[in-house]
A and B are shown apart, each in its own frame.
Chain A
Amino acid sequence: MATTVKYADVEVGTELPAQTFPVTRATLVQYAGASGDFNPIHWNEKFAVEVGLPDVIAHGMFTMAEAIRVVTDWTGDPAAVVEYGVRFTKPVVVPNDDKGAEIEVSAKVAAKLDDNRVRVDLLATSAGQKVLGMSRAVVQLV
């Protein structure tokens, strides 16, 4: 673990640089292949509607993977993340157009813990809806 972010330099309320992540149908096809999750709700509109969804939705694990980038981009070393958990509250709906959807992620230091660790609380929204709940990471700083 070789992050350069210093525990002494952060305080409760320190904000990490927020980011916006685009997601299109092409993104979902690529993620399905990379992750091995071929559930048709992530690529087949007819199927998604039949099971009661408004449209094709992003993999929850895709959203989870994007959200933590705000933390790993901040620390440089992804291994600084020692715990990471989320609740999947609302789906990210991905329309079949050129624009798709956007996932907006902000994060801030919520608590300073022992052993130079901090808890970072993440906020992920799409189309104005909170898509992850209880989204938290414990991060090892130096």
Chain B
Amino acid sequence: MALDQSFVGRTYPPTAPYEVGREKIREFAEAVGDTNPAYVDREAAQALGHADVIAPPTFVFAITFKAAGEVVHDPELGLDYSRVVHGDQKFAYTRPVRAGDRLSVTSTIEGIKSLAGNDIVDVRGEVHDEAGEHVVTAWTKLVSRAAEEA
């Protein structure tokens, strides 16, 4: 059944702040095998003009995806999450995420489409720091694949 179009434009309350830890950044950089010193060495990061170690560009997804999860699990929306795959992902950065940031995400449903039985939901996550300054916007396209005919 097609999803309710009236959800387009709906904005969810900001998430509780996520505190970015330097060891979490290190763990992420190691997991993707990235040895850029800006991720682990404060002096190296400062030499590039950053206040502290910064996170790799895709690190923030863990935070925005969790926020988007609250949207896609909204029982009123009725998305079949067990059939969801990740379609597209895009980020636009005002500044890099850095250790010590306390980040809050405000999610908005930007679009809902049904295409050949697939439900497609576009969620925009606006990430702000504790001072209310914009850090990054994440656009996530989720596709709930059509159930096979019985």
Contact = CB atoms under 8 A, between A and B. Distances in A.
Given A61-B89, A86-B89, A31 B31 contact: yes
Contacts, number: 102
A78 B87 CA distance: 24
Contact of B58 (A2, A30, A64): A64
B131 interface: no
Given A34-B27, A73-B36, A78-B38, A83 B92 contact: yes
Contacts of B54: 78-79
Contacts of A34: 24, 27-28, 30-32
User: Chain B interface secondary structure, helix, strand, loop or mixed?
Assistant: mixed
How large, as a class, is the contact surface on chain A? 20 to 34
Given A30-B31, A31-B32, A33-B27, A79 B50 contact: yes
B36 A30 contact: no
B32 A85 contact: no
Interface of A: 1-2, 21, 27, 30-31, 33-37, 60-62, 64-66, 68-69, 72-73, 76-79, 81-88, 134
